Structure 1
Amino acid sequence: MINAITTSAEFKKMAKKALASIFLFILTYIFLVIFAIGLTVALGYIGYLLIEFYANWFTWIFGLVLLGVGSIVLIFVFKFIFTRIPEPERILVELKAAEEPVLFALIKDIANEVGTRLPKRVYLSPEVNAGVFYDSLFFSMFFPVRMNLQIGMGILNTHSKEELRAVLAHEFGHFSQRSVRLGSYVYSANKVLRNMLYENDNFERTLDVWGDIISYFKLAGVLAALVIKGMQSLLQKVYEILNVNYYALSREMEYHADAVATHVAGSRTVALSLLRLEIAESSLSMVHSYHESKIGQGLKPLNIYPNQYFAMNHFASLRRIEIQNGLPRMDIDQVWKSTGTRIVWIDPWATHPNIEDRIRRIKAFDIPAKAVSVDLAANLLTNKIALQEQLTTKIFEHHFIYSNAPELTDFQQFESDFLSHYEDMFFDERYYGYYQDRLPYYNFDPSILDSPVETEVSYEELFNEAGFIENQERSTLESDLQLLEEIKLEIGAIRSFSYDGQKYQTADCEGLISLVQESIEGIKEKIEQRDRLILDYFKRYALQFDQFEQWKENLMLFKEVAEATFSYQLVYLDLMNSSNFMTVQTPFDVIEEKMVLFIESENTFKLVLKAMLDNPVYKEELTAEQVNLFEKFLAEDWVYFDQNKYIEEDLDRFFAIIPVFRGLYYTICLNHKRSFLSYQSSLFPQRMVSLSA
Structure 2
Amino acid sequence: MEIQISPGFKKQAQRAILSIVLFIVSFILLTLLGLAVVAFFVFLAFKILIFMGNFIGMLLAVGLVGSAIVLLIFLFKFIFQKSSNSTEGMHQIYTSQHPKFFKMIHEIADEVGTDFPKKVFLTDQLNASVFYDSSFWSMIFPVRKNLMIGYALVNVSTEQELKGILAHEFGHFSQRSMKIGSYVYNCNRIIFSLVFENSSFEENVNKFSNGHILFKLTVGFSIYIIRGFQFVLKQFYIFLNKSNLSLSREMEFHADAVATNIVGSQVMIDSLARMDLSDRAYGSANAFTNSKYSEGFRLCNFYDVQTYVLNIIARKDKHNFNEHLPKVTLDELRLQNKSRLNIKDQWASHPTMEERIESIQRLNIQTVNNSLEPAKFLFEKPNEIELKLTKLIYPEHELTDLKELSSTEEKDMYDDFLKSVSFNEIYNGYYDNKNPLTEISKVIDVDSSVTLKSLFSDEEVALGAKYLSLNQDYKDVEYLAFQKHKIKTFDFDGIKYRKKNAENLLKNLDKELLDLKNQIESHDDLIYSFFYHKAQDKGLFLEWDSIYKTYITMDKLYDLGYKKAVKFEEVLVFMNKQSSIPVIQENLKIMKPFEEVFKTHLKELVATDLFQNDINEERRKLIINYIDNDEAYLRNEQWNDPALNLLFDCLRNISYIHSDLIFTAKKNLLDFQANQLK
TM-score by length of 2: 0.85
Give the one of 418, 421, 425 matched to 1:425: 421
Match of residue 549, structure 2, among 556, 559, 570: 556
SS class of match (2:20): helix
- Cα offset for 1:476? 2.3
Which of 406, 415, 435 does residue 411 from structure 2 map onto?
415
The aligned residue for residue 307 of structure 1 is 305
Report if aligned partners of 1:131, 1:151 keep a CA contact under 8 Å in 2: yes
- Any idea what SS the aligned residue of 1:159 has? coil
What is the match of residue 441 of structure 1?
437
Residue 676 of structure 2 aligns to a residue whose secondary structure is coil
Match of 2:65, as an amino acid? Answer: L
Secondary structure in structure 2 of the residue aligned to 1:131: strand
Residue 230 (structure 1) shift = 1.0
Aligned residues: 678
Q: Which moved more, 1:240-249 or 1:476-485?
A: 476-485
- Structure-2 separation of matches of 1:511 and 1:580: 41
User: Which secondary structure state, in structure 1, belongs to the residue aligned with residue 87 of structure 2?
Assistant: coil
**What is the identity, as a one-letter code, of the residue corresponding to 2:349?**
T
| Kept in 1: contact 2:81–2:135 (CA 8 A) | no
Deviates more, 1:468-477 or 1:92-101: 92-101
Alignment of structure 1 residues 450-599 onto 2, 5 Å: 453=446, 456-488=449-481, 491-575=484-568
Structure 1: tracts of 5 or more residues without a match:
686-693
State the shift of 1:84 in Å. 5.0
1:661 equivalent among 630, 633, 654:
654
Instruction: Assess, with a 3 A threshold, how the Cα gap between structure 1 residues 635 and 460 changes in structure 2: closer, same or farther.
Output: closer
Correspondent of 1:189 among 187, 190, 205: 187
The CA distance in 2 between the partners of 1:99 and 1:413, in whole Å, is 31
Aligned counterparts, 1:330-341, within 5 A = 330-335=328-333, 337-338=335-336, 341=339
Q: Residue 667 of structure 1: CA displacement? A: 0.8
After superposition, the Cα gap between the structure-2 partners of 1:144 and 1:668, relative to the gap in structure 1 and judged at 3 Å, is closer
Offset of residue 20 of structure 1: 3.1
CA RMSD in angstroms comes to: 4.1
Q: Is 2:206 aligned against 1:208?
A: yes
Q: CA deviation at 1:143?
A: 5.8
The answer to whether the Cα contact below 8 Å between 1:432 and 1:464 also exists between their aligned partners in 2 is yes
Residue 655 of structure 1 aligns with an amino acid whose one-letter code is F
Query: What amino acid is aligned across from residue 566 of structure 1 in structure 2?
Result: D
Asked if structure 1 preserves the Cα contact closer than 8 Å seen for 2:79 and 2:136, the reply is no
1:112 CA displacement? 6.2
Q: Does 1:327 align with 2:325?
A: yes
Please list, as runs of the form range in 1=range in 2, the aligned pairs for 1:111-126 lying within 5 A after superposition.
Answer: 122-126=120-124
Distance 1:366 1:479, change over 3 A: farther
Taking the aligned partners of 1:592 and 1:519, their CA distance within structure 2 comes to 53
TM-score normalised by structure 1 residue count: 0.83
What per-residue deviation string (whole Å, max 9, x for no partner) do you get for residues 469-521 of structure 1?
22332332333334444545654343344445554444444344444444443
Are 1:255 and 2:248 counterparts? Answer: no
Q: Is the 8 A contact 1:272 1:332 kept in 2?
A: no
Partner Cα distance (2:114, 2:289) in 1: 41
1:674 aligns with 667
What pairs up with 1:59-98 in 2 under 5 angstroms? 59-89=57-87, 91-96=89-94
1:46 Cα deviation from its structure 2 partner = 2.1
Give 3-state SS (helix, strand or coil) of 1:333's partner. helix
For 2:84 and 2:31, locate their aligned partners in 1 and report how far apart those are by CA, in whole Å: 25
- 1:33 CA drift (Å): 3.5
**In structure 1, how many angstroms separate the alpha carbons of the residues matched to 2:175 and 2:581?**
55
Other-structure match for 2:268: 270
Counterpart position of 1:225:
223
Identity of aligned residues (%): 28
How far residue 229 of structure 1 moved from its aligned partner, in angstroms, is 0.8
Match for residue 387 of structure 1?
385
- Cα distance in 2 for residues equivalent to 1:78 and 1:249: 28
Residues 182 and 524 of structure 1: is their aligned pair in 2 closer, same or farther, counting only changes over 3 Å? same
Contact (CA 8 Å) 1:159, 1:276: kept in 2 or not? no
Which amino acid is 1:130 matched to? A
One-letter amino acid matched to 1:443: E
- 1: CA distance, partners of 2:193 / 2:109: 38
Distance change (3 Å), C-alpha of 1:419 and 1:562? farther
Distance 1:413 1:483, change over 3 A: farther
1:167 aligned onto 2:165: yes
Query: Secondary structure of 2:149's match?
Result: strand
Aligned in 2, Cα 1:223/1:396: closer, same or farther, shift over 3 Å? farther
What is the DSSP-based 3-state SS (H/G/I as helix, E as strand, rest coil) of the residue aligned with 1:246? helix
After superposing the two structures, state which structure 1 stretch, 164-173 or 234-243, moved more: 164-173
Deviates more, 1:158-167 or 1:247-256: 158-167
Q: Which stretch shows the higher mean deviation, 563-572 or 220-229?
A: 563-572
Q: Secondary structure at the match of 1:348?
A: coil
User: In 2 relative to 1, CA 164–344 (structure 1 residues): closer, same or farther, beyond 3 Å?
Assistant: farther
Deviation (angstroms), 1:207? 2.3
Change (3 A) 1:462 1:519: same
Identify the residue that residue 36 of structure 1 maps to in structure 2: 34
Q: 1:651, CA displacement in angstroms?
A: 6.1
SS of the residue corresponding to residue 179 of structure 1 reads: helix
Q: How does 1:293-304 map to 2 (within 5 A)?
A: 293-295=291-293, 299-304=297-302
Segment of structure 1 superposing worse, 657-666 or 175-184 = 175-184
Query: 2:286 maps to what in 1?
Result: 288
Aligned AA (1:59): G
- Aligned to 1:5, the other structure's residue is in SS state coil
Q: Counterparts of 2:493 and 2:376 in 1: how far apart (Å)?
A: 36
Runs of at least 5 residues in structure 2 that lack an aligned partner in the other structure: none
Q: 1:617 to 1:388 in 2, by over 3 A?
A: closer
Quick check: 41-50 or 334-343, which moved more? 334-343
CA contact (8 A) 1:618 1:668 kept: yes
1:288 is displaced (CA, Å) by: 2.9
Deviations, residues 409-436 of structure 1 (Å, cap 9, x unaligned): 4443333333434534323222222222
CA contact under 8 A between 1:295 and 1:402: conserved in structure 2?
no
Distance 1:577 1:180, change over 3 A: farther
Aligned pair in 2 of structure 1 residues 597, 477: CA closer, same or farther (>3 Å)? Answer: farther
SS where residue 436 of structure 1 aligns? coil
- In 2 relative to 1, CA 286–573 (structure 1 residues): closer, same or farther, beyond 3 Å? farther
The one-letter code of the counterpart of 1:668 is: L
Q: Is the 8 A contact 2:83 2:135 kept in 1?
A: no
Tell whether the 8 Å contact from 1:134 to 1:140 is kept in structure 2 after alignment: no
Alpha-carbon spacing, 1:361–1:676, altered in 2? closer, same or farther (3 Å):
same
